[in-house]
Each structure stands twice: as C-alpha cells, then as structure tokens.
Amino acid sequence: MTDIKIYAIWDAGVRRFHWINVLCIIGLIAIGVVILNAKLLGVSVEGKILLKTIHVWIGYVFALNLSWRIIWAFIGGRYSRWSAFLPFRQGYIKETRDYISNFSSGQAKQYLGHNPLGRLAVTLLIFLLFVQAVTGLVLAGTDIYYPPLGSWIANWIAAPGIDPATLVPYSKELYDEEAYKAMRAFRKPFITIHYYGFYTLLLFIVVHISAVVITELKEGGNLISAMFTGKKILTKSPEDE
C-alpha cells in the first residue's frame, strides 16, 4: 500500500508572489508585443504613449513584487529561502546527475521543495526577472520620463528655456539635440538587454510550463495545485526532508 503524506511547503508569501508575477508577466508581454508591432498595427503616437504608460505601471507592480520575493528569500519559510533553491550547495552536481538518471529511468525521486533542476530554473528565473525589472525602470525614464530616472533624464535633454517637467515623449522640438543623442546612446544597451530578455523570458515560460507538466506526470507531488494550496502530496520519502 502506498504511503501518502501531505506536507505544508509553500507559504503564503511565495504563493502570492508567484501568481502576481504570472499576471504581471502576461500583461507586460501582451502590451510589449503590441508596442513592438505598433507601426504594423497602425497604433498612433498617442496610443503608443498610452501603451508604454500602462506597461510602466504594470512594471512597477512587477518590480515591487520581485523586490518582495527577494526580501522574502531571507525571512520567509524554510522552502522559500535562498538556501532552499540556490544551486550552489555542496554535492549539488552529483545530486543533479542522480536526479536526472533516476528521472530518466522512471524512478523519479520526490522533493518537498524544488528538485535539483527546479532549483537551477528558479535561480535563472529570478536573475532574468531582475534584469528585466532594472532595464525596464531605466527605459521608463528614457521613454516617457517616469521614475526613478525620469526627472534626471528630462533635465538632461530639455532644450534651453524649456521646463523639464513639461517634456512629453516624441516631441523633439522640446529637446536639446546633442543631449538627446547622448541620452539615446546611454539608453541603447538597456533597450538591447530588455529586448532580448523579453524573448528569453518567452522561451523560459514555455520551458517552465512544459517542465512542470512533465515532472508532475513522472514524479508526482502535485506541483501545480501545491502553488495554490501550499501543500504537497507525496507518495515517497522526500529527498530533502
């Protein structure tokens, strides 16, 4: 007879972060796709500014939520902390090899927290999200002069006699030409990183969803429902108990 046990794993802080993050990413990707294809879709300048404004406001929620998760990794429950998922602890490489071997042979082990590959995935995801948040905040300032850098950018590029507070996007007659060129050069590496990070995130989402589904089918442990209830149902002794 299979010995089934229920474990309380994901605390409310982790679950809230996960689902707020999901909603933010869906919104950011949807609006980002429209912005990238604005000319093809016939979006007006005013429409593009509105889209960027909404994108930035969702981005603020995204960045605050990510900041909360980073803090929670220091003070949250056992399985939400850095020590539970960073793939740097002693023996991690051997543990990962053993996990892959057992998984491939149909004898997948079960874990209370993240399995070895899951720990690597979470680490990469947080890094990618952090990069997108930082570059996005820079672009918010260079695109539509929103905080945290918007005021500094506006003061930088305003033409002589123009109040920086009155600057609006795409109104080059209000800009100092040389300062604007310098600002665009400053902006370029951030938009490049944000642009490719966007596509990397799309790819990562596909891989993440696929991995969760495959792992739940082969390993068990109700990965999906556990992110709603916080509880895992395991049929084997967990490796990380």
- Predicted pLDDT of residue 134: 97
Round to whole Å and give the CA distance between 231 and 8: 4
DSSP state of 66: H
Length of the chain: 241
Mean pLDDT per 10-residue section of the chain, whose length is 241 residues = 80 95 96 94 94 97 97 92 87 89 84 89 94 97 95 96 93 94 97 95 91 83 87 85 72
* Contact (CB, 8 A) for 58 and 28: yes
* Contact (CB, 8 A) for 142 and 153: yes
Name the β-bridge partners of 232: 7
Return contacts of 198-206, CB within 8 angstroms, 24+ apart: 198/29, 198/32, 198/132, 200/128, 201/25, 201/29, 201/128, 201/129, 201/132, 202/29, 204/124, 204/125, 204/128, 205/25
- Predicted pLDDT of residue 62: 98
Round to whole Å and give the CA distance between 16 and 21: 8
Three-state secondary-structure class, residue 86:
coil
- Domains of the chain in start order, with CATH, are 5-234 (1.20.950.20)
What's the chain's average pLDDT? Answer: 92
- Predicted pLDDT of residue 214: 87
In this structure, which amino acid lies at residue 36? Answer: L
Give this prediction's pTM.
0.92
Three-state secondary-structure class, residue 5:
strand
Round to whole Å and give the CA distance between 200 and 188: 18
Round to whole Å and give the CA distance between 167 and 150: 10
Round to whole Å and give the CA distance between 56 and 136: 8
* Contact (CB, 8 A) for 10 and 234: no
- Predicted pLDDT of residue 2: 56
- Predicted pLDDT of residue 137: 97
- Predicted pLDDT of residue 109: 85
